[in-house]
């Protein structure tokens, strides 16, 4: 094969060369390393077709190549193949219909390609036959709309009306009923508004003459709260719905489709809350089998074939992901477009970017096609089509064509491109985003939405005011006046291009009448008094309605409790990131209502990511967090014009202290002095102020240090003394001596920046000052001489933040160019770039080091804080991503011990994150095995980075590194610790097996190499008495070694019988039986009661692929095996010679790599390549809980000696310590959550149940 033929053959040839450079291992050997068959790997290097990305990377890693480089090459080949038509279909034939809907919701016409929800449709139809009012609840992206439209409606036998409420729900209802009845909508709207009974009467007219009632489906019911701004019309619509279903003789059955995060809004309407008491149907995630049906059936029915590997990958990628169904549908549509003939391939799917990246890839590609002006128009169109959330996620908003200037040619082009890409939906009357998943999944749109949310609200109000003005024939009384006009005028001065012609005409008309109405103060005063009176009336009404709703609650039945618990568990999982304390308490309440697997899972995963305590109180975006040097007090600065102080000595129960009020606008920055007695603030009112906070609960008045016409951006105190640095909009840095905080004294200026300075930071010794500027540079200054030393130039956009590491030889910078960078400033006059951190998908706003300098935090507009291992700043490695804040994360600071990270966000909160969290970074490559010392205080792990690491677990929640054992030339995936805790056994793919003395685990002894095998084998296991070591041996054997002298192990027996190499070994608790698991698809039991004369007992057959793991139950009566056939099997080995299977546990969607029994033997854990850990009831052989939080493939699971802590070895190089006892998890929830769930929150989530906080 000539490697010059094309990219594909060259790619394959290079794979073969890589194998040659690795010593030309056989494909069988590569298969063992890569966990793919030899045939698959051979085909990958054959050049006939492009292998999947997963196979390529496994091949490369097995040969010791660089995965990042090969991933780029794979995408280049995939892109070229598509460009040449090799991976994309011919132009669609006339009338050809894709089998997948993409982002578009299914319609009744799509019932033939709607699969996977049959069970739920049947449940809905049954419930609807018994009840007149149903609420179908689900998260955004759970498939509610498709379920109602393509599942329920085609199953309804009688008449049906489908509507979405929009901004005028009663009007929309009248339009739909008028079309069905053949009457004028205007008269019907008057009827509906006149009395709530009239909607039911109209429904009776439609149902008359038939046996079936009218089914009224109100999809996207949350629009009643997000888009409808007319409170009376909202109330009329809700009254009409409730009355239509509840009236005697009703012929109406009402079904609402509601997003779960808006369910609490329903409780504000007493009658609606009442009918919803027992009317909820929760749309949860699809099961594995349902996902398979949804993926495969549409294609198969349309005459296409879906590769099995693609189905497995899609199921694995989709399982446990919230809001994933529209992303899955979009990824499937894009995969279909790239199909090979009639086959949908894994390669095509990976070329779309996968579930997470497909929507962003499509959006970016479409956006890139547009001209600069058209891109500006696209931005404005998307912003108009998004309704900003108030404590909830942003939602889509339907707009009329009249809202934008559709007659312009560029606007038509933009709409055409967006519609062709199925990003927006067009019809004769309006335009809308095809699905809200686009809002979540396209980073550019999220960035637009976070840039100026207040401005977007002003624009939305202006649009609505324009609509209202035109609807009353441009009555001047509907024009803007006073404050609203001033706000709109100020915003329009900055964003004039965002206005449509009609909005500009409205604003001009408002400005025209402003001068004629200046003398009408008295009328405005009267309006204000009327407004106050109206608000008072509304308040009385709201209080009355709440009291009524509370009194209307009734005791729930067991069946209702079960349904409510399921809903609560789903709700808790959805809000775990945005409101961890409330989510944890709701999960616990659900578990106590009904301890089902779903509720139990919800409790157990509450701490599966670092827990965050929220600090609320600011009424504007929080810009900065700063810690007093002793770590006991936190300061926050906000757009609400204040800085606040918080007692955080108990980070889980922060206490508000003093409020620093005095700035006339945004407080952009805050800093503590070295002695902690003074705080400095910088404000957009042009002032810098210092505050005496000796008593943080009663801070002194602010002293103005400087005042000027521009904005003050930044302040920083030197850690070496009372020196204060400030920075302003002109780029000038000023220094002040604050020894007398009441009379700060200027001591110098630093100039050189050509634009405003965003941030300042002193080195730990106070000798250097760094500044970050909008001129795209960071600069380093010598404090003593007041002169510039060096410039860190390399960013391509505004630099937002700087931070020194504690040693002062590394500088970190954060930039609007979406990167953070590390610089070597050993010579501060010549900063040298060390590395670029590119994980953020939007603007990077801040950087912060831990006190030891080994960890860096970066925060950004992608709403995350990310942690990096920067022990080697030339090779930074991402450790964790902290997600959950609903706005940009703009500032961060570590406590001195590094166990807490404080962050500030545009969502008006600060957070205190518990670190390191359950995922502990251990290896720089895959972690493949873990073993505990019998006392549970030492953990040994082996990894693909060719080392074994020992960690001290004596302090719960804070694993401490003790030793790194190197000297291996290949991955180390065999690790065991002797029962006396003094010896470590290892097996490596470098063909060595070793023993080491770890009596002092901080200083392991030298290796004793007792075996050099020819095969890549690594399994090792100690007998319970520690006298025998079992190892995998050459020629598909198991070897037994006498350890009487651990410096000279002696082989005493060889066990033969397996037809392929042995992968795992386990002794029974009594030491009389040894179990072995093999690549030959079998496990075997051996009698080793006489270890020098072992004999076979039983062959465990039933698995259809490699058995990767095996474990005995604590009582020795059961054996569990995990296999590449995706199953776990449990065997009764009470009589080992008559061992037999008692259960096959299914649910995993990829290789099962690890199994382990809990200390009491009642729970079995399994870990899989599908990135999940599943817990099983080992007595009933049924699901117990699912831990869906692993970030990568799971290689091993192991229960700690305490019997309830589970360690998972994960391919991202971490080990994850998980609590599997729900009662212990509940104790932790009650210990750390703050504040306690309020009665209002309880009532909103658990209507009908008395207020009983789960943590008394």
Q: What is the CATH number of the domain that holds 13?
A: 1.10.260.40
DSSP state, residue 340:
B
Tell me: do 903 and 1024 sit in the same domain.
Answer: no
Neighbour count for residue 46 (Cβ, 10 Å): 14
Tell me: do 267 and 313 sit in the same domain.
Answer: no
Tell me: do 762 and 728 sit in the same domain.
Answer: yes
Q: Dump pLDDT digits (tens) for 1156-1186.
A: 999 999 999 999 988 899 999 999 999 999 9
Virtual torsion, Cα 822, 826, 829, 831, nearest 10 deg:
-20
Tell me: do 905 and 955 sit in the same domain.
Answer: no
Tell me: do 275 and 172 sit in the same domain.
Answer: yes
Q: Is residue 215 part of a domain?
A: yes
Q: Which of 282, 310, 340 is the last residue of a domain?
A: 282
Q: Is residue 547 part of a domain?
A: no
Q: Dump pLDDT digits (tens) for 939-997.
A: 999 999 999 999 999 887 778 899 999 999 989 999 999 999 999 999 998 889 999 99
Q: Is residue 1165 part of a domain?
A: yes
Tokens of 601: 């899972």
The mean pLDDT value of the chain amounts to 87
Tokens of 1068: 């029974």
> CATH number of the domain that 318 lies in?
1.10.8
Check: CB of residue 1110 under 8 Å from CB of residue 1103. Answer: no
Q: Is residue 1020 part of a domain?
A: yes
Quote the CA–CA distance of 353 and 74 in Å, as a whole number.
12
Check: CB of residue 327 under 8 Å from CB of residue 437. Answer: yes
pLDDT over 70, % of the chain: 92
110 φ, ψ to 5°?
-95, 10
Quote the CA–CA distance of 248 and 1243 in Å, as a whole number.
29
> CATH number of the domain that 1050 lies in?
2.130.10.10
- Of 1014, 1004, 1070, 1008, the closest CA to residue 1041 belongs to 1008
**ω into 916 cis (within 30 of 0):** yes
Please state, in angstroms and as integers, the Cα–Cα distance from residue 240 to each residue in 384, 558, 817, following that order. 30, 31, 52
- Of 860, 919, 852, the closest CA to residue 892 belongs to 860
Q: Which domain holds residue 906?
A: 613-916
Tokens of 713: 């951006």
Q: Which of 885, 916, 947 is the last residue of a domain?
A: 916
User: Could you give the 3-state DSSP secondary structure of residue 381?
Assistant: helix
- Of 923, 935, 1008, the closest CA to residue 973 belongs to 923
- Of 1229, 1232, 1226, the closest CA to residue 653 belongs to 1232
Q: How confident is the model at residue 87 (pLDDT cuts 50, 70, 90)?
A: very low
Stretch 268-295: mean pLDDT = 85
Q: Dump pLDDT digits (tens) for 1042-1052.
A: 999 999 999 99
Q: How confident is the model at residue 134 (pLDDT cuts 50, 70, 90)?
A: very high
Pairing mode, if any, of strands 1095-1100 and 1107-1112?
Answer: unpaired
Q: Is residue 237 part of a domain?
A: yes
Tell me: do 886 and 945 sit in the same domain.
Answer: no
**ω into 1235 cis (within 30 of 0):** yes
Q: Dump pLDDT digits (tens) for 1046-1094.
A: 999 999 999 999 988 899 999 999 999 999 999 899 999 999 999 999 9
Q: Is residue 519 part of a domain?
A: no
Can you give the pLDDT at residue 50? 81
Angle, helix 67-83 to helix 7-21, in steps of 10 degrees: 160
Check: CB of residue 1187 under 8 Å from CB of residue 1225. Answer: no
Whether pLDDT at 5 is above 50? no
Q: Is residue 71 part of a domain?
A: yes
Q: How many domains does the chain have?
A: 6
pTM over 0.75: no
- Of 12, 22, 67, 14, the closest CA to residue 43 belongs to 12
Quote the CA–CA distance of 937 and 359 in Å, as a whole number.
46
Tell me: do 387 and 344 sit in the same domain.
Answer: no
Quote the CA–CA distance of 576 and 606 in Å, as a whole number.
7
Residue 122's contacts (CB-CB under 8 Å, 6 or more residues apart) are none
- Can you spell out the DSSP letters for 76-108? HHHHHHHHTTTTSPPSPPTT---SS-TTSPP-G
Q: Which of 424, 451, 478 is the last residue of a domain?
A: 451
User: Could you give the 3-state DSSP secondary structure of residue 442?
Assistant: coil
Can you give the pLDDT at residue 663? 94
Tell me: do 775 and 882 sit in the same domain.
Answer: yes
Tell me: do 725 and 866 sit in the same domain.
Answer: yes
> CATH number of the domain that 174 lies in?
3.40.50.300
Q: Dump pLDDT digits (tens) for 191-224.
A: 898 898 999 999 988 888 778 899 999 998 988 8
Tell me: do 338 and 416 sit in the same domain.
Answer: no
Tell me: do 802 and 736 sit in the same domain.
Answer: yes
Q: Is residue 108 part of a domain?
A: no
Can you give the pLDDT at residue 1052? 95
Tell me: do 1069 and 972 sit in the same domain.
Answer: yes
């Amino acid at each position: 094969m000539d490697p010059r033929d094309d990219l594909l053959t060259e790619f394959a040839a290079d794979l073969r060369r890589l194998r040659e450079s690795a010593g030309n291992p056989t494909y069988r050997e590569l298969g063992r390393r890569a966990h793919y068959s030899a045939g698959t790997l051979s085909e990958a290097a054959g050049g006939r077709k492009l292998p999947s990305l997963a196979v390529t990377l496994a091949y490369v890693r097995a040969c010791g190549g660089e995965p990042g480089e090969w991933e780029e090459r794979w995408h280049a080949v995939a892109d070229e193949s598509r460009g040449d038509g090799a991976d994309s279909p011919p132009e669609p034939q006339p009338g050809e219909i894709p089998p997948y809907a993409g982002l578009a919701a299914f319609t009744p016409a799509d019932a033939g390609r709607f699969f996977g929800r049959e069970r739920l449709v049947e449940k809905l139809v049954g419930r609807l036959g018994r009840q007149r009012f149903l609420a179908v609840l689900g998260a955004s992206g759970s498939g509610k709309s498709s379920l109602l439209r393509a599942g329920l409606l085609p199953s309804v036998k009688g008449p049906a009306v489908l509507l979405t409420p929009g901004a005028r729900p009663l009007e929309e209802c009248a339009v739909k009923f008028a079309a069905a009845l053949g009457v004028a909508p205007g008269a019907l709207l008057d009827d509906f508004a006149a009395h709530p009974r009239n909607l039911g009467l109209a429904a009776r007219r439609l149902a008359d003459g038939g046996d079936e009632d009218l089914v009224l489906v109100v999809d996207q019911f949350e629009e009643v709260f997000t888009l409808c701004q007319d409170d009376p019309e909202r109330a009329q619509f809700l009254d009409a719905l409730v009355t239509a279903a509840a009236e005697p003789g009703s012929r109406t059955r009402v079904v609402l489709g509601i997003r779960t995060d808006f369910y609490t809004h329903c409780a504000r309407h007493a009658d609606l809350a009442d009918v919803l008491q027992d009317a909820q149907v929760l749309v949860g995630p699809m099961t594995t089998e349902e996902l398979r049906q949804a993926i495969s059936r549409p294609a198969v029915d349309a005459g296409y074939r879906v590769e099995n590997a693609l189905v497995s990958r899609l199921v694995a990628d989709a399982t446990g992901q919230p809001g994933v169904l529209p992303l899955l549908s979009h990824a499937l549509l894009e995969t279909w477009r790239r199909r090979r003939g009639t086959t949908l391939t894994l390669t095509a799917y990976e070329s779309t970017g996968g579930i997470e990246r497909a929507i962003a890839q499509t959006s970016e590609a479409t956006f890139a096609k547009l001209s600069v002006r058209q891109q500006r128009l696209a931005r404005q169109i998307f912003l108009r089509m998004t309704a900003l959330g108030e404590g909830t996620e942003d939602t889509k908003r339907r707009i009329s064509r009249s809202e934008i200037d559709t007659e312009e040619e560029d606007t038509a082009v933009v709409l055409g491109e967006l519609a062709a890409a199925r990003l927006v939906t067009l019809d004769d009357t309006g335009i809308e985003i095809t699905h809200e998943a686009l809002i979540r999944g396209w980073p550019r749109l999220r960035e637009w939405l976070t840039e100026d949310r207040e401005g977007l609200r002003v624009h939305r109000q202006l649009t609505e005011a324009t609509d209202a003005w035109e609807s009353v024939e441009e009555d001047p009384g509907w024009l803007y006046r006073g404050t609203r006009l001033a706000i709109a005028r100020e915003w329009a001065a900055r964003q004039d291009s965002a206005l449509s012609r009609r909005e500009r005409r409205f604003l001009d008309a408002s400005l025209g009448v402003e001068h004629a109405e200046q003398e009408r103060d008295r009328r405005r005063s009267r309006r204000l008094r009327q407004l106050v009176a109206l608000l008072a009336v509304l308040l009385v009404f709201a209080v009355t309605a709440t009291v009524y709703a509370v009194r209307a609650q009734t005791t729930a039945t067991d069946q209702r409790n079960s349904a409510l618990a399921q809903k609560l568990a789903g709700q808790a999982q959805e809000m775990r990131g945005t409101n961890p304390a409330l989510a944890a308490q709701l999960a616990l309440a659900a578990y106590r209502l009904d301890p089902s697997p779903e509720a139990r899972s919800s409790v157990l995963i509450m701490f599966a990511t670092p827990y965050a305590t929220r600090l609320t109180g600011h009424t504007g975006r929080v810009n900065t967090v700063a810690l007093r040097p002793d770590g006991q007090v936190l300061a926050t600065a906000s757009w609400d014009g204040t800085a606040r102080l918080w007692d955080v000595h108990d980070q889980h129960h922060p206490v508000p202290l003093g409020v620093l009020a005095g700035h006339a606008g945004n407080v952009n920055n805050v800093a503590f002095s070295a002695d902690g007695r003074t705080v400095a603030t910088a404000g957009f009112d042009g002032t810098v102020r210092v505050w005496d906070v000796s008593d943080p609960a009663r801070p002194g008045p602010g002293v103005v240090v400087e005042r000027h016409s521009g904005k003050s951006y930044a302040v920083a105190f030197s850690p070496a003394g009372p020196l204060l640095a400030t920075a302003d909009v002109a780029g000038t840095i000023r220094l002040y001596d604050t020894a007398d905080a009441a009379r700060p004294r200027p001591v110098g200026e630093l100039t050189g920046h050509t634009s405003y300075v965003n941030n300042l930071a002193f080195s730990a010794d106070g000798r250097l000052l760094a500044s970050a500027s909008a001129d795209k540079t960071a600069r380093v200054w010598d404090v003593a001489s007041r002169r510039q030393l060096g410039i860190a130039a390399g960013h391509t956009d505004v630099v937002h933040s700087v931070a020194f590491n504690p040693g002062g030889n590394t500088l970190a910078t954060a930039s609007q160019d979406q990167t953070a960078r590390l610089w070597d400033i050993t010579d501060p006059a010549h900063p040298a770039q060390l590395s670029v951190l590119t994980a953020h998908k939007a603007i990077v706003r801040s950087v912060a080091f831990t006190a030891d300098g080994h960890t860096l935090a970066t925060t950004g507009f992608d709403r995350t804080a990310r942690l990096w291992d920067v022990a080697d700043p030339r090779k930074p490695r991402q450790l964790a991503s902290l997600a959950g804040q609903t706005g940009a994360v703009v500032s961060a600071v570590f406590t001195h011990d590094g166990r807490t990270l404080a962050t500030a966000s545009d969502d008006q909160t600060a957070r205190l994150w518990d670190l390191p969290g359950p995922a502990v970074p251990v290896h720089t490559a895959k972690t493949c095995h873990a073993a505990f010392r019998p006392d549970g205080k030492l953990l040994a792990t082996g990894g693909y980075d060719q080392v074994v690491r020992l960690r001290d677990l004596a302090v719960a929640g804070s694993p401490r590194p003790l030793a790194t054992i190197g000297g291996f030339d290949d991955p180390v995936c065999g690790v065991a610790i002797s029962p006396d805790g003094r010896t470590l056994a290892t097996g490596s793919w470098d063909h060595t097996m070793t023993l080491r003395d770890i009596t002092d685990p901080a200083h392991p002894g030298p290796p004793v190499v007792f075996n050099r095998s020819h095969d890549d084998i690594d399994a090792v296991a100690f007998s319970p008495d520690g006298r025998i070591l079992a190892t995998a041996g050459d020629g598909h054997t198991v070897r037994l070694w006498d350890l009487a002298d651990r410096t000279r192990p002696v082989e005493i027996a060889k066990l033969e019988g397996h037809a392929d190499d042995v992968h795992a070994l386990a002794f029974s608790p009594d030491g009389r039986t040894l179990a072995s698991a093999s690549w030959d698809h079998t496990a075997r039991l051996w009698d080793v009661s006489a270890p020098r004369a072992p004999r076979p007992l039983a062959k465990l057959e039933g698995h259809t692929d490699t058995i990767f793991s095996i474990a005995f139950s604590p009582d020795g009566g059961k054996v569990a095996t995990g296999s590449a056939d995706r199953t776990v099997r449990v065997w009764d080995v009470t009589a080992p010679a008559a061992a037999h299977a008692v259960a096959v546990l299914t649910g995993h969607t990829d290789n099962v790599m690890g199994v382990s029994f809990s200390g009491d033997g009642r729970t079995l854990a399994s870990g899989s390549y599908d990135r999940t850990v599943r817990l099983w009831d080992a007595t009933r052989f049924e699901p117990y809980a699912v831990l869906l939080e692993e970030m990568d493939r799971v290689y091993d699971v192991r229960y700690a000696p305490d019997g309830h802590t589970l360690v998972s070895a994960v391919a991202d190089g971490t080990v994850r310590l998980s609590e599997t006892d729900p009662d212990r998890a509940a104790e932790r929830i009650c210990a750390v959550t703050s504040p306690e769930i309020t009665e209002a929150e309880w009532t909103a989530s658990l209507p009908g149940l008395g207020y009983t906080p789960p943590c008394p």
